[in-house]
Amino acid sequence: MALLLGLTGQQAPQPLLSRVGLLRPEALVMLGMRDDSYRRQIGVATIAGRIRLIPATDLHADPAEAGRQAAQQVASQAPGWWLHIDFDVLDREEFSACGAAGEVMLPGGLSWAELGALASSALGASGVRGWSLGVYNPDLDPQGRSARRIVNLMADATNNRT
């Protein structure tokens, strides 16, 4: 994000240099972060104040409304927009098929129901052009339970857009 926002990358090689500053901060909203103390611990700066960030603790009360508002903000800034979900936004008790050996697992994530409500409402906003999903480690899901949950989330969110 920092590279796409132009906050870093001025010395990047081509073709990355052509992507520096590609995104406008007002056309981006990030939901569900809970890494503030970990970022401080490892000395990584925040982009809070430059873009709209909504931590996981603020989503639990009404994830559908948060998704709707975030999507409407982005849609008001761009004729088309993209929804991206990293599954590490889920609470570790809900989703353990992410990460790698030694990776810090942060508490306080969303439930599947909360993520589903957020995604459904966001996908109901105008201008959505696509949806990508990330941070799934199939090696940590040998029976495919988490994979089935992901597929069900996608089906429910696209069928129940609000």
Q: Look at residue 153 in the predicted model and tell me its pLDDT.
A: 96
**Mean pLDDT, range 30-45, rounded to an integer:** 85
pLDDT band at 45 (very low <50, low <70, confident <90, very high): confident
Identify whether the C-beta of residue 92 lies closer than 8 Å to the C-beta of residue 111.
no
CATH of domain 2-159: 3.40.800.10
Reply yes or no: is the peptide bond before residue 25 cis, omega within 30 of 0: no
Rounded to an integer, the average pLDDT of 28-44 is: 86
Most distant pair of Cα atoms in the chain: their distance = 44
Beta bridge partners of 53: 30
Residue of 9 and 120 predicted with greater confidence? 120
How confident is the model over 113-153, as pLDDT tens digits? 999 999 999 999 999 999 999 999 999 999 999 999 999 99
**Residue 143: partners with Cβ closer than 8 Å, 6 or more residues away:** none
Q: 53 in helix, strand or coil?
A: strand
The DSSP output letter for 138 is G
How much is the average pLDDT of 30-37? 87
Cβ-Cβ contacts under 8 Å for 69 (sequence gap 6 or more):
none
Q: Which residue has the higher pLDDT, 17 or 149?
A: 149
Concatenate the DSSP letters of all residues of 23-46 into one string. Answer: S-GGG-EEEEE--HHHHHHHTPPP
The reported pTM is 0.88
Determine the average pLDDT of the residues in 96-105.
76
Q: Is the pLDDT of residue 101 over 80?
A: no
Residue 45 amino acid letter: A
Whose structure tokens read 């990047």? 12
Asked if pLDDT for residue 75 goes beyond 90, the answer is yes
**Helical (H) or strand (E) element with 153:** helix 145-159
For 50-55, what is the mean pLDDT?
Answer: 91
DSSP letter for each residue of 103-121: PPPPS--B-HHHHHHHHHH
